[in-house]
Structure 1
Amino acid sequence: METGLKHFHSYWAYLVLLTLLIAVVNAIIGLAGNKTFTSRDRFLALFALIAAHTQLLIGLVLYFVSPLGARNLSNMGEAMKNPGLRLYVVEHPLVNIIAIVLITIGYSRAKRLPTDNSKFKTLTIMYLIALVLLLSRIPWNAWRS
């Protein structure tokens, strides 16, 4: 089960990054072009939000099912001394949760803002920061192999 979850988590990450990138580019184009915020723009942002939340749920299940995560919760001091282990046990989960919180806040705020320009600006800033955070904590060595 753990191997299947790891593969699903890894492949779903491609979808998350792609939808987030599309939402960011769409928001930048809307902001730069002074365009009207349409239901298509809202759908792109919502799809990125849903993909990210799904990834979070898969990741949390994997974290507590995997011996890598569960085993090191009791020995956090040892995990913090090992950079590779620290990435999986602390940095990757924490930074990705922060990124998903930013996506959620960005989407929620953009829904309520009165002007189209402010909606695009909020989505651009929050989703772009989240994208950078996600990219910064991907375990690239393990992901490529």
Structure 2
Amino acid sequence: MGIYEILKSAHSGWRYLVIILLLVAFINALMGYVGKKPYTEGNRKLNVFALISAHIQFVLGLVIYFMHDWYKGDSSVAIQRYWKMEHVSMMLIAIILITVGNARSKKGVTASAKHKTIFIFFGLALLLITGAIFAMIKVDPSRHLFGM
């Protein structure tokens, strides 16, 4: 097994941690916002762990992207266009949303504002990631919902 296969396996497995952490942070922020709960150190750490896991996933993805030469793919072929442009673009936007959401939550004055910021930005990132999964299934029917 070469380095490419190892990185690809790591990227494939790490996605579950990213999605779980984002979901937990999103639900936690929703409950904190709706329930008017205080913004605790635990909330902050959860958000940072979600952020870090997403960044690690993105870096692994970029390494795989350039190792496999996806950037050289033919844009007129749906599967190659997806991996060349669509997947990378959607994941970059998701990473930006997660990063901006985490940074803005730190600047929030009230606990409610912090929870709301995480809820909105992490929620948008989750929607984008879900959209990317469904787009992948559309262009490559051999893959299923969990991207295997």
Normalising by structure 1, we get a TM-score of: 0.90
Q: How does 1:52-67 map to 2 (within 5 A)?
A: 52-67=54-69
Higher relative contact order (CA 8 A, sep 6+): 1
Report the AA paired with residue 115 of structure 1: T
Query: Which residue does 2:88 correspond to in 1?
Result: 93
| Unmatched 5+ stretches in structure 2 | 138-142
SS in 1 for 2:124: helix
Are 1:40 and 2:63 counterparts? no
| Unmatched 5+ stretches in structure 1 | 73-77
- Report the RMSD for the aligned CA atoms in angstroms: 1.3
1:84 deviation in Å? Answer: 1.3
Corresponding pairs, count:
138
Query: Which residue does 1:107 correspond to in 2?
Result: 102
Selected match of 2:120 from 116, 121, 125: 125
1:86 deviation in Å? Answer: 1.2
Residues 46-70 of structure 1 show CA distances to partners (whole Å, capped at 9, x for unaligned) of 1100000000110111110013x14
Report the AA paired with residue 111 of structure 1: K
Return closer, same or farther for 1:144/1:123 CA change in 2, 3 Å cut-off.
closer
1:3 deviation in Å? Answer: 1.4
Are 1:71 and 2:66 counterparts? no
Whole-angstrom CA distance in 1 between matches of 2:38 and 2:117: 14
Whole-angstrom CA distance in 2 between matches of 1:11 and 1:135: 16
1:71 deviation in Å? Answer: 3.1
Which has more helix, going by share of residues?
Answer: 1
Give % identity. Answer: 38
Are 1:22 and 2:17 counterparts? no
1:110 deviation in Å? Answer: 0.3
Question: Are the equivalent residues in 2 in contact too, given 1:87–1:137 (CA < 8 A)?
Answer: no
Whole-angstrom CA distance in 1 between matches of 2:129 and 2:60: 15
Return closer, same or farther for 1:134/1:111 CA change in 2, 3 Å cut-off.
same
